[in-house]
Amino acid sequence: MRPAQRLLGLLGLLLLASAQWAEARGVTVYIQRVIVADPGNIRLGDLVQPSGDAPASAGETLSQDVASVVANHILYIPSRSYMDRVEDAFGRDSIFVGSRSLVIPRGALPDSEIPLLDRLADFLSASGVLGDDVSDIEIRSIRLVGALPQNPVPSFQLVRSSRGSVETSFTVAGDAPQASGRIILELKSDPRATVAEVRASDPVRVVFHKGPITIEMQGKALGAAAVGQAVNVLVSDSQKSFTGTLQAGKAVDVELP
């Protein structure tokens, strides 16, 4: 074999190995930390940003609704509340970067204060005030003394934390004169999660009805729901999602058109 042919063959093997390694490594999925959104439904595709070739089947998962934006409330959405769905869509060998999203209604607060709320969400999560469920955050008051720098690195102190309410103080040191203040928030967990019979990723029995025909399959819930509430489910065999009504015994009734 000529040297040139050997070189081409070696390059071909390297390219093949590189492609196989890239495929095995999977897609890198970035969880968006802060999203400024208009009122309306938030989809999984709004919360995550894949880098690389996403599977064709991921589109259906990314189009699923996660929550709704209220005109003057902020949403805290931890990735744990939906990660199973994303992992199923992109593959368990994918890399996931980030742990939560803060969805801020457009115009709810000045742009200069958004980084402050972003850092506060991290602090409240580390303090155990914000948990694994979607939380609705209402800003009761922000008292600010001084001017915030462009990229503030605040130091927070928990002043008071009771059921549904939290107050923090903060100081920000920087090149400009020091800024400080207090923030009071009202917190409300996703009401479906507080009385939930099932939560995201719980196994369920999916009972399909079409006329006189009934078929039962295994699946898992894609969100929290109480008996009588609507819930999205993923059917394991088909990897397709459906919407049904939760019944007693973790059965989801789906009426096919």
| Burial (CB count <10 Å: 0-12, 13-18, 19+), residue 256 | exposed
Residues 32, 43: Cα–Cα separation, whole Å: 12
- Assessment of whether the complete model's pTM goes beyond 0.75: no
Each residue's pLDDT tens digit, 184-197? 999 987 655 545 68
Give the lowest-confidence range in 12-26, 163-177, 231-245: 12-26
Q: Which residues are registered as beta bridge partners of 170? A: 156, 181
Fold for domain 194-255?
Answer: SH3 type barrels. (2.30.30)
Q: What sign does the dihedral 11-12-15-21 (CA atoms) show? A: negative
Segment 188-208 shows an average pLDDT of 76
Pick the CATH number of 28-190 from 1.10.3470, 3.10.129, 3.40.50, 1.10.3120: 3.10.129
For residue 174, how many C-alpha atoms fall within 13 Å in the half-sphere facing its CB? 16
- H helices of 201-248, where? none
Query: The tokens of 224 are what?
Result: 């929290």
Residues 78, 199: Cα–Cα separation, whole Å: 14
Query: The tokens of 213 are what?
Result: 């025909």
Which pLDDT value is given to residue 98?
Answer: 93
Residues 34, 118: Cα–Cα separation, whole Å: 7
Which pLDDT value is given to residue 192?
Answer: 52
pLDDT above 70: percentage of residues in the chain? 86
In 3D, which of 244, 238, 165, 163 has the Cα closest to residue 198? Answer: 244
If you ran DSSP here, which 8-state letter would residue 6 be given? H
Query: Domains of the chain: which residue ranges?
Result: 28-190, 194-255
8 A C-beta contact, residue 88 and residue 232: no
